[in-house]
Chains A and B, each alone.
Chain A
Amino acid sequence: MLKGAEIVLQCLRAEGVELMFGYPGGAIMPLYDALEGSGIRHVLTRHEQGAVFAAEGYARVTGDVGVAIATSGPGATNLVTGIADAKMDSVPLVCITGQVRSALIGTDAFQETDVFGVTLSLTKWSRLVRTIDEIPEAIAEGFHWARSGRPGPVVIDIPTDMLKAKKEFSGPVKFTPHARLAEAKAEGGFTDTIVTEKIVAMLRQAARPVALVGAGAKLSGAIPELRRLLDDLNIPTFATVHGLGAVPPQTPYYLGMVGMHGTRAANMALHETDLLLVFGARLDDRVTGDPTRFAPVAKIVHFEIDPAQLDRVRPCDLPVIGNLADTIPAFQAELRRHSSSPSLPGSLPDFSQWRSVAYGPERAELDPRGLAQPTIRFLDELFSRLPENNVILADVGQHQMWAAQRYRSASPRGFITSGGLGAMGFALPAAVGVQLAKPDACVLCVSGDGGFQMNIQELATVHRLDLPIKMVIVDNKYLGMVRQWQQLFYERNYAETDLSDNPDFVDIAKAYKIHSFRLKEDALREFPVSQETGDLIDRFLSSPEPELLVFDCAPEANVFPMVPSGAALSEMLLEEK
């Protein structure tokens, strides 16, 4: 006879779970009581939001399912932001919540919240367990949905009496979708030759084709296939923030990040293209700008695993539904069948002239006032001095966009950020999950002074586990991105964005027994940077212990280029008016 809690843990082990993040409380106590000897390591964060973001960090960097645990009521509701984040960014996540005992459900009992209902619109699948017999099936099915198709979050809510109850346990089960469901959710996609021939035909007719790479490229595991295809196509290519690293930045046809703070070349190429090939991106408003003027003369071929992502802002001309790991090789095979025979009348046109036009006269971001230059240079110095085995996390705000613009790695899972939901406070706890998943990697966590304070309590987790995370606060003493919008679009009415009374982050880190220091932006005004500054950054990055570096950023530094909300990509601002 095993308790429900022991069955939960055995089923988690059967799903390959070795690490989970959580915070104990009344209804989930039986699970914590059974932890010892379960074979699963539990990491105590200092807030449930820290736990779910840490689980996300683990999942984002490994591609495996992240697991977060919380108690009922406030414990469960504190997971909600992370669940929404995982939904937006397609992160495989399983959250297990304790619930009040079965007899009390629906009575507004102490710490009772309908977490199933609260998270219904944020989860891919969820289950309120009603009997102990359901536990193995619920966990198996939950992991299936978290992993399959477009990955996403799952909630399994278990009443505390189910965790305490005992039953004969014959072992974990496997979930197999019944035949009709399996058929309906088949991932193979439309890889038939009719579709691939159509794409090749569209390429033949195009004069200015481009490719856009999103998160789906890395989620599918099809990076090698994608790179081979792009090499064959040899057309201007750019990435969303989640697609960074999918294409090596030094690749000649790569134009950088696209969208609201994308490069001028990428945005202009996207605006002028007549054929857009989208690989695993949902084309949200941060990428498209004004959807009615997005790629206005282009036909769109959209490679996507989740049909729900098609036509959200702009109808596509040819959807290619399926896993990129299947659809890209099918397309490439068709492409090579034509391109390998130069005598064929259907060989692809020479796009070299379009490529050179798309690059434009300049790729560098402009900032004539220079206020952002020391920060950009600082990030460049940090990134260029990182060891090869590194992961960069960015929180949400100006520093996030500067970091994304300066990211120069070819590691598909090397840049992690909350891109869809834009959840401030994401980076520090996510870095905990990343560092635990990649103990030998140099994990660099870049935050702003606003976001860092949203989960600052996780410094305690970093200290407890002695994780050698390199934390950077880009401290401009403002909610910088909001302030930038206030400056540009609200006549400098800096309403409630002034954080000039920030605490001294160096002192705070010391209170958590974490070494910390401040770097003035004056040290980064000159290029190349001084030997002293370079040595300081090298020492920071190579320290075997956690460290916090607070970088003073000019309060009114702005991120450019910028596409104003509601404008077309071609209407980006390159400087302040």
Chain B
Amino acid sequence: MQNFQIRYRNTQGTLMRILNAASRRGLEITSVRAEAAENGYQVTLALEVNPKQVGQLFREWYSIADVTVVRAGSAPTAEWAVPHPPEGVGIESRTVVRA
């Protein structure tokens, strides 16, 4: 598992372009955390990647128009380790809530 932090201007589609760089390679995106950061926004991703893909992703993210910084991030915190999708929020339980 590799973690990445990407700083960007939060313009239309920029976060989607960042995620698309992973999804177009068929990578499973284990966790995504996007938030305001100094002078812009930051998304932290956890991905299963091989070393070649790391280099490709770094460069592809960096070439997105509104991305300013790309770097390997710190280890995910414990709260990121919850199952995806979260347990107990399946279709059945949503139905119950609606009812």
Contacts and interface: CB of A to CB of B under 8 A. Distances in A.
Interface of A: 116-117, 120-121, 124-128, 145, 149-150, 178, 180-181, 184-185, 306-312, 315
B56 A120 contact: no
B32 interface: no
Contacts of A180: 39-40, 68
B41 interface: no
Contact of A181 (B12, B24, B68): B68
Given A127-B12, A181-B9, A121 B17 contact: yes
Contact of B56 (A116, A127, A311): A311
Contacts of A311: 52, 55-56, 59
B36 interface: no
Interface in B52-73: 52, 55-56, 59-60, 62-63, 65-69
B16 interface: yes
B16 to A, nearest CB: 5
B13 interface: yes
A184 B39 CA distance: 13
Contacts of B60: 308
B55 A126 contact: no
**Which 9 A-B pairs rank lowest in CB-CB distance, beginning with the nearest?**
A308-B63, A307-B59, A184-B68, A308-B59, A308-B60, A125-B65, A121-B20, A145-B65, A311-B55
17 contacts: A116-B12, A124-B65, A127-B11, A145-B65, A149-B63, A180-B39, A181-B68, A184-B67, A306-B63, A307-B63, A308-B59, A308-B60, A309-B59, A310-B55, A311-B55, A311-B56, A312-B56
Nearest to B65: A125
Contacts of B9: 178, 181
Contacts of A124: 65
Chain B, interface size category, equals 20 to 34
Contact of A150 (B11, B20, B63, B66): B63
Nearest to B9: A181
Contacts of B12: 116, 126-128
A261 B38 CA distance: 51
Nearest to B24: A121
Contacts of A117: 16
Interface string B77-90: 00000000000000
Contacts, number: 51
Contact of B59 (A121, A184, A310): A310
Interface of B: 9, 11-13, 16-17, 20, 24, 39-40, 52, 55-56, 59-60, 62-63, 65-69
Contacts of B40: 180
A120 B13 contact: yes
Given A121-B20, A127-B12, 10 more contacts: A116-B12, A117-B16, A121-B24, A124-B65, A125-B66, A181-B9, A181-B66, A184-B62, A308-B56, A311-B52
B81 to A, nearest CB: 30
A117 B19 CA distance: 13
A103 B12 CA distance: 19
A82 B45 CA distance: 32
A180 B9 CA distance: 10
A311 B51 CA distance: 12
Contacts of B11: 127
A249 B67 CA distance: 40
A483 to B, nearest CB: 31
B65 A120 contact: no
A150 to B, nearest CB: 7
A116 B62 contact: no
A178 B65 CA distance: 12
A126 B20 CA distance: 14
Contact of A184 (B55, B56, B69): B69
Contacts of B55: 310-311, 315
Contact of A116 (B13, B63, B65, B68): B13
Contacts of B13: 116, 120, 126
A315 B62 CA distance: 18
A307 B59 CA distance: 5
A309 B63 CA distance: 9
A286 to B, nearest CB: 19
Nearest to B66: A181
Best-buried of B16, B52, B63 by chain A (most CB within 10 Å): B63
A185 B8 CA distance: 12
Best-buried of B40, B62, B65, B66 by chain A (most CB within 10 Å): B65
Contacts of B63: 149-150, 306-308
Nearest to B57: A308
A120 B16 contact: yes
A128 B16 CA distance: 14
Nearest to B62: A307
A120 to B, nearest CB: 5
A120 B66 contact: no
Nearest to A306: B63
A84 to B, nearest CB: 13
Contacts of A185: 65
Best-buried of A116, A145, A308, A315 by chain B (most CB within 10 Å): A308
Nearest to B60: A308
Contacts of A309: 59
A310 B39 CA distance: 29
